[in-house]
Amino acid sequence: MELKRFYFTFGTDERYPYRGGWVEVWGVDLNHAVQLFKEKYPNRSGYVWLNCADYYNESDFTMKETGNLGAYCHDVIVPKGAEHYDK
């Protein structure tokens, strides 16, 4: 199974799991990555939106070197049974 990287970023809202930075999620596609993200970081009660500020695919994500609001990667989510490897 070919996995792609997706990045779920956070802003300054204190209700987010983190302030700034991101969570990297490895998924088959965006829908799979969203499902994995929501399992660990569920939507806030009463909200239909994801519990993050935004999300990006690997080619559109530009914060790896510069960070996001002074923070970097907080967590990496990989599907069970998948090997986590660095490209």
Cα of first residue to Cα of last residue in the chain, in angstroms, is: 15
What's the pLDDT score for residue 46?
A: 86
Residue 68 contacts residue 22 (beta carbons within 8 Å): yes
Residue 7 contacts residue 61 (beta carbons within 8 Å): yes
Q: In whole angstroms, what separates CA 8 from the centre of its chain?
A: 3
The pTM score is: 0.91
Enumerate residues 6+ apart whose C-beta is below 8 A from 44. Answer: 15, 51
Q: Would you write out the chain's pLDDT as a tens digit for each of its 87 residues?
A: 789 999 999 999 999 999 999 999 999 999 999 999 999 999 988 888 999 999 999 999 999 999 999 999 999 999 988 865 554
Q: Where are the domains of the chain?
A: 4-77
What's the pLDDT score for residue 9?
A: 98
What's the pLDDT score for residue 47?
A: 87
What's the pLDDT score for residue 85?
A: 56
